Amino acid sequence: MPGNPQQFELLGLTNQELMAVVEALGEPRYRARQLFDALYGQRVATLDEISTLPKTLRARLAEEGYRSGFPAIDQRFVSRDGTVRYLVRFADAQTVETVWMPDGDGAEETEESATPGPSSNRRATICLSSQAGCAVNCKFCMTALLGVQRNLTAGEIVGQVLLVLNDQQIEIGRDRINLVFMGQGEPFLNYENFIRAARLLVEGAAIPESRMTVSTSGIVPRIAEFGAEPVRPHLAISLNASNDDLRERIMPINRKWKLAELLEAARRFPLRSRERLTFEYVLLSGVNDAPENAREVVALLSGIRAKVNLIALNPGPEIPFQTPTAAAVESFQQILVAAGIPTYVRRPRGLDIYAACGQLKRSTTLLSLT
């Protein structure tokens, strides 16, 4: 906190860590559980409002420099299709974007989550940012134009979810919420905070890991590490090209890890029963959307229990690519489907408010100019 170096944020701490905090104050351990439930389960925004804790304990925590604060909603853009794009601001004034998509983004649905429970009511997907900006520098992505500004803490990642759930008045258990780590940033370049956030959301906010998907541009060593996690979301890999030459042109990360290495890691990834590995493929007109590219994708994915999400490029200023025609998207899809690969075309969401993938944050600058 600027001007107050003695502040310690509670949001982002595990139950175990909260136990150490309350024990150091001479308080019984069960207070940690109350604190944990208030933060992540009841989504109480400030320490002061946690009424399950005695006033004296709240005051002592504050004296010791502990605080808890959700990020703030700086701006909210509501799309005609119901999508809401939140500009979320953290304590140091850094901002990222978080997107609320009602009804879920069909393409993210998993076998388990495709069947709503009898008591479920509202259904939606929340798209989370893991970093402010991104260092990976994919040529079709507007977040890349920001460069990486910083990693988000686990508390900041979790905070985005809690904030949006409160704003949308969601009741976990009644409503069915999916989470996708597909906003700004490369989650596997902020691995520790990302995985801690996922665990806290499972344990504290009761959102099952089967309703979460993390997308990576292909940080190969992290794929194996992620596969070994006892609690983990589903994995999506941004393939986006069908051979090394092409992938290197649009995703510089491919210079570090070639397709052979990436797909080897994908092949070794320990899938659960009925689970599929998702491959995302952003179609760029005349660049990677030819039938030949589709056939190369089929060959690359052979032997992997995969599904493919095709995303027609969301175009934008400073992005030197064009969106493919609907016919090109359809023939690409047909080739994959004919080869037995379940392939979905992702519906563009919130286009009128620039809420689409790869447009996060950058568009705020543009919108605020108009």
Site membership for ligand SF4, residue 236 (CB under 6 A): no
Site membership for ligand SF4, residue 319 (CB under 6 A): no
Among 136, 202, 277, 341, binds ligand SF4 (CB under 6 A): 136
List the catalytic residues.
97, 357
The 3-state DSSP class for residue 252 equals: helix
Contact 305, 340 (CB under 8 A): no
Among 44, 101, 127, 138, binds ligand SF4 (CB under 6 A): 138
Q: Report how far residue 23's alpha carbon sits from residue 6's, in angstroms, rounded to the nearest whole number.
A: 19
Give the C-alpha distances (Å, rounded to integers) separating 217 from 34, 220, 241, 319.
38, 9, 11, 18
Site membership for ligand SAH, residue 198 (CB under 6 A): no
Q: Number of residues in contact with ligand SF4, rule: CB under 6 A?
A: 12
Residue nearest to ligand SAH (CB): 358
- The 3-state secondary structure of 88-131 reads EECCCCCEEEEEEEECCCHHHCCCCCCCCCCCCCCEEEEECCCE
5 by Cβ neighbours in 10 Å (0-12 / 13-18 / 19+) ranks as exposed
Site membership for ligand SAH, residue 297 (CB under 6 A): no
Dihedral, CA of residue 111, residue 114, residue 117 and residue 118, to nearest 10: -130
Which residues, 224 to 243, sit near ligand SAH by CB under 6 A? Answer: 238, 240
Q: Which is nearer to ligand SF4, 136 or 164 (CB)?
A: 136
Beta bridge partners of residue 171, listed in sequence order: none
Q: Report how far residue 94's alpha carbon sits from residue 88's, in angstroms, rounded to the nearest whole number.
A: 8
Rg of the chain (C-alpha set): 21
Rounded least distance, CB 80 to ligand SAH, Å: 19
The entry of ligand SF4, ligand SAH, none that residue 280 binds, CB within 5 to 8 Å by partner kind: ligand SAH
The entry of ligand SF4, ligand SAH, none that residue 311 binds, CB within 5 to 8 Å by partner kind: ligand SAH
Single-letter amino acid code for the residue at 27: E
Site membership for ligand SAH, residue 310 (CB under 6 A): no
> Interface mask (CB under 6 A) for ligand SAH, residues 122-141, using x and -?
------------x-----xx
Pairing of strands 306-312, 277-283: parallel
Among 241, 313, 329, 336, binds ligand SAH (CB under 6 A): 313
- Binding residues for ligand SAH, rule: CB under 6 A, are 134, 140-141, 182, 186, 215-217, 238, 240, 280, 282, 311, 313-314, 357-358
- Binding residues for ligand SF4, rule: CB under 6 A, are 134, 136-138, 141, 143-144, 185-186, 217, 238, 358
